[in-house]
């Protein structure tokens, strides 16, 4: 009898090796008496409920697959184990070459749980909430590729901080600090910190470039634009923005949980190697 009895499976069907690796792992799980439940290929985060009684969720793919899986797993408060089949694998825990030897350790419950904060974003228009999202990496308000800059007025706890005239503004978690926010000049933060990073994209004449705020901050971006602009969540969900829209950001009450087999010092020890893109 293992400590892990029911496992959800999220796999990226666009990766050529995903089907074979997933089938191999599912066979190992079934041989150990573990029930697996496959996730449909959908962006809908509500594919499972607490009644599914999952102990773990395995994600097979790159970081994009794990971002999607995190939005599924967080509301259930089920730990996520990433198996890297992509190029970067910054969020993953295992490579496919070691899965077979590490599965017994996972099933015995010999892992620790890392808690990473997520963002909750709401898009308000004309006094009504029209969309809401959760994000593990970031929420971005930006111009379209050929549009002019957008004006984004940053409000924190009801107080105006500044108006960015820029290509856009990134609101990131510590997890997202190593993604788009870092590329735009933001700081790298340890993933278990609880805070929100605000980083403008190519701002024009601003003295505030990157701002780190407490995780209990109530943040609002007020959008002024006369051209095409978009709200993007984790680089995967996109909504058109209109002049006068407001994006309200808070820390989600449910963090993302990651099952880790590496030492707790892994982040600092592997940071440089994980940031290097692996081609091929």
**Average pLDDT of the segment spanning 88-105:** 89
**pLDDT tier, 1 (very low <50, low <70, confident <90, very high otherwise):** very low
Query: Which has the higher per-residue pLDDT, 207 or 9?
Result: 9
pLDDT in tens, 156-172: 999 999 999 999 999 99
In order of their start, the domains of the chain are 6-116+255-275 (3.40.50.10330), 119-251 (2.60.200.30)
pLDDT given for residue 8 in this prediction: 95
CA distances from 104 to 19, 58, 112, 261 (A): 21, 14, 15, 12
Of the candidates 67, 64, 68, 61, the one whose C-alpha atom is nearest the C-alpha of residue 22 is 61
Residue 63 among the catalytic residues: yes
CA distances from 272 to 190, 254, 269 (A): 13, 29, 8
**Average pLDDT of the segment spanning 144-164:** 93
**pLDDT tier, 50 (very low <50, low <70, confident <90, very high otherwise):** confident
- Write down the mean pLDDT value for the chain: 92
Please check the confidence at residue 277 and state whether its pLDDT lies above 70: no
Query: Which has the higher per-residue pLDDT, 2 or 107?
Result: 107
Query: Which has the higher per-residue pLDDT, 208 or 117?
Result: 117
Give the torsion through C-alpha atoms of 113, 114, 115, 117, to 10 deg.
-150
Q: Which of 38, 53, 55, 63 is catalytic?
A: 63
């Amino acid at each position: 009898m293992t400590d892990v009895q029911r496992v959800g499976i999220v796999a990226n069907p666009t990766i050529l090796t995903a089907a074979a690796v997933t089938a191999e792992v599912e066979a190992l799980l079934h041989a150990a008496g573990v029930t697996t439940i496959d996730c449909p290929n959908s962006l809908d985060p509500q594919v499972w409920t607490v009644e599914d009684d999952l102990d773990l969720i395995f994600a097979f793919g790159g970081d994009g697959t794990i971002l999607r899986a995190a939005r599924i797993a967080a509301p259930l408060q089920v730990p996520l184990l990433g198996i890297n089949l992509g190029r970067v694998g910054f969020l993953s825990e295992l490579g496919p070459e070691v899965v077979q030897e590490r599965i017994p350790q996972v099933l015995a419950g010999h892992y620790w749980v890392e808690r990473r904060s997520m963002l909750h974003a709401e898009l308000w228009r004309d006094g009504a909430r029209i969309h809401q999202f959760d994000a593990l990496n970031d929420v971005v308000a930006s111009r379209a590729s050929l549009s002019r800059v957008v004006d984004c007025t940053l409000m924190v706890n009801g107080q105006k901080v500044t108006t960015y005239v820029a290509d856009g503004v990134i609101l990131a978690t510590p997890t997202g600090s190593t993604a788009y926010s870092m590329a735009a000049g933001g700081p790298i933060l340890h993933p278990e910190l609880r805070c929100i990073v605000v980083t403008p994209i190519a701002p024009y004449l601003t003295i505030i470039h990157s701002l780190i705020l407490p995780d209990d901050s109530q943040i609002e971006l007020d959008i002024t634009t006369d051209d095409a602009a978009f709200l993007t969540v984790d680089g995967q969900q996109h909504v058109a923005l209109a002049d006068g829209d407001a994006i309200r950001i808070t820390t989600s009450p449910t963090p993302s949980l990651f099952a880790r087999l590496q030492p707790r010092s892994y982040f600092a020890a592997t940071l440089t190697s994980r940031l290097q893109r692996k081609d091929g």
